[in-house]
A = this chain, B = another copy of it.
Amino acid sequence: MSLRLGDIVDALGGSLEGGARDTRIERIAPLQSAGPADLSFLNNPRYAAQLATSRAACVIVAPALRGQALARGACIVTPDPYAYFARATQLWARTQGLAPAPGIHPSAVVHPEARVAASASIGPLCVVERGAVVGEHTVLKSRVSVGERCRIGARCILHPGVVIGADGFGFAPEGGAWLKIEQLGAVVIGDDVEIGANTCIDRGALEDTVIEDGVKLDNLIQIAHNVRIGRHTAMAGCTAVAGSTQIGAHCTIAGAASIIGHLSIAERTHISTNTVVMRSITQPGGHYTGVFPMDDNAHWEKNAATLRQLYRLRERVKALEQQRQDDSGSLEQ
């Protein structure tokens, strides 16, 4: 499979300079490993030095780097090279026929009372339970489970092993045992949502768990019951969000973070990797972190031992300060 440079700019725009429309492109590749039949891109001006040595047939660049790029060979000039690159990968996938065909794979188990759009693709060994809804052009890869009454919007992608609508974790203690609280809500997922492999989104206890339009969730994420995730928020792998927490729009949550339950996180918040969010965040656009810095094990052991006495250390400093102040007082006498 290959595409001509001319086909690419016809489909995606941008201006092809210093190269021929007929040049065949076999692959999209990073600048450093691209060969003479490859299309590449330069997003970060910090890597402009790599441009000169790249063997790529053509490089996607921003206007500011047009001169440097032309000195090397063909380029496509466009205001946002990274977005252009993303669209090029989409064009590539379409051209190579990588998109799954619409329809329900014969091995999938779809309840007769589920509603699946004709343009949706339900992959092998998926399960869609009674009353569930799958929207237009949505793709369930292999082995996805969608529970009863859960609704998935249009143009979503659910990767293998995703579980939508398992019961939320709700129990009432009674006499030392746990009474199950049946989870009577469902999960509602908007349009253009992507959900990574083996990620779980639990149904709500009484009302629904909601994932708004454009949300992107990576693999092995846990979304507990009655959580709401705002539009276009992205969350990296292995993150956990506990029950009833509301996350605003356009947040970015790095991998393996944890957000405890019943919090409210303002829009455009950025949470660093492995950070545990234990209080609500009301100011939009903040950046929060809480990670124990890694160290050589021997150093860590010393520092960790001291950390367990940190409050005492503060008291000792306070005592020294007090003594110091007493001295000054007596000197002033």
Contact = CB atoms under 8 A, between A and B. Distances in A.
Interface of A: 27-30, 33, 80, 82-83, 85-87, 89-90, 92-93, 98, 105, 107, 109, 123-125, 127, 129, 141-143, 145, 147-148, 157, 159-161, 163, 166-167, 169-174, 176-184, 192, 194, 196-198, 200, 202, 205-207, 214, 216, 218-220, 222, 224, 232, 234, 236-238, 240, 242, 250, 255-256, 258, 260, 270, 272-279, 286-297, 299-311, 313-314, 316-317, 320-321, 323-324
A80 B142 contact: no
Contact of A317 (B160, B300, B313): B313
A206 to B, nearest CB: 6
B182 A93 contact: yes
A276 B277 contact: no
A237 B240 contact: yes
Contacts of A141: 145, 147, 166
A51 to B, nearest CB: 17
Given A90-B180, A160-B145, A237-B169, A278 B258 contact: no
Given A145-B161, A174-B83, A237 B260 contact: no
Contacts of A123: 127
23 contacts: A89-B182, A89-B184, A93-B182, A127-B160, A145-B160, A166-B197, A171-B234, A220-B240, A237-B242, A242-B273, A272-B297, A272-B300, A273-B276, A274-B276, A286-B296, A288-B300, A289-B300, A289-B301, A292-B292, A292-B307, A306-B313, A316-B321, A317-B320
Contact of A178 (B198, B202, B214): B214
Contact of A291 (B30, B170, B300): B300
B303 A184 contact: no
A295 B289 contact: yes
